[in-house]
């Protein structure tokens, strides 16, 4: 991307001032971005219609994508911090714009929204299991020890 003069190339180089690993073909960044492009990206395209149609698979897939995104971001920050504190290598320029706005804040957004969606899905699944448990308890209360319902009908296995 270094010699690219188009808009995308210029944006890439501007962002690289906040994380020079994007200009040096850093192995971690290449691996992380490959997983994002070939796993989380396609799963998001699968997830979008599931959200729109309230499909039951929405929440499990949403949890997978959110956990993957958050995990990748934690590794992204952690590898940079490790190199900074243990090897003395710093990938970001020290100016406020490059470090706090580009490097920290613009990446942290990818923690906030997946985090909110993750909590939402976990709550929704917990609520569904709670409702199922109450339903099953209600069915069990309607049965006596003989396997016959208290209304005299035989227990029907589903």
Number of domains present in the structure of the chain: 1
Spatial distance between the Cα atoms of 43 and 143, rounded to a whole number of angstroms: 44
- At 2, the pLDDT band (50, 70, 90 cuts) reads low
How many percent of the chain have pLDDT more than 90? 73
- At 138, the pLDDT band (50, 70, 90 cuts) reads confident
- Classify residue 124: in a domain, yes or no: yes
Question: DSSP letter at 36?
Answer: I
Q: Identify the domain containing residue 96 by its residue range.
A: 32-134
How is residue 144 written in tokens? 């006596």
- At 157, the pLDDT band (50, 70, 90 cuts) reads low
- Segment 55-60 shows an average pLDDT of 97
The answer on pLDDT for 4 being more than 90 is no
- Classify residue 9: in a domain, yes or no: no
- Classify residue 148: in a domain, yes or no: no
pTM as predicted? 0.81
- Classify residue 26: in a domain, yes or no: no
- Classify residue 7: in a domain, yes or no: no
Average pLDDT, the chain: 90
- Classify residue 93: in a domain, yes or no: yes
- Classify residue 73: in a domain, yes or no: yes
Task: Name, in order, each residue with C-beta under 8 angstroms of 103's C-beta and a sequence gap of 6 or more.
Answer: 18, 19, 92
| Chain centroid, CA 143 distance in Å | 43
- Classify residue 76: in a domain, yes or no: yes
pLDDT score of 8: 86
The answer on pLDDT for 116 being more than 90 is yes
Each residue of 67-81: pLDDT tens digit? 999 999 999 999 999
Cα angle: 7, vertex 10, 14; to 5 degrees: 135
pLDDT score of 11: 87
Contact 69, 40 (CB under 8 A): yes
Spatial distance between the Cα atoms of 117 and 109, rounded to a whole number of angstroms: 13
């Amino acid at each position: 991307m270094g010699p690219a003069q188009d808009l995308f190339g210029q944006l890439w180089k501007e962002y690289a001032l906040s994380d020079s690993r994007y200009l040096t073909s850093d192995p971690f960044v290449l691996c992380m971005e490959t997983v994002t492009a070939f796993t989380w990206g396609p799963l998001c395209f699968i997830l979008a219609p599931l959200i729109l149609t309230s499909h039951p698979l929405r929440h499990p897939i949403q949890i997978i994508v959110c956990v993957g995104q958050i995990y990748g971001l934690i590794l992204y920050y952690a590898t940079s911090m490790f190199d900074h504190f243990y090897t003395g290598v710093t990938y970001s320029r020290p100016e406020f714009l490059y470090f706090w706005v580009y490097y920290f804040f613009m990446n942290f957004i990818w923690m906030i929204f997946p985090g909110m969606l993750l909590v939402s899905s976990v709550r929704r699944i917990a609520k569904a299991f709670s409702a199922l448990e109450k339903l099953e308890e209600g069915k069990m209360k309607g049965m006596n020890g003989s396997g016959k319902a208290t209304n005299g009908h035989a227990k029907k296995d589903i």
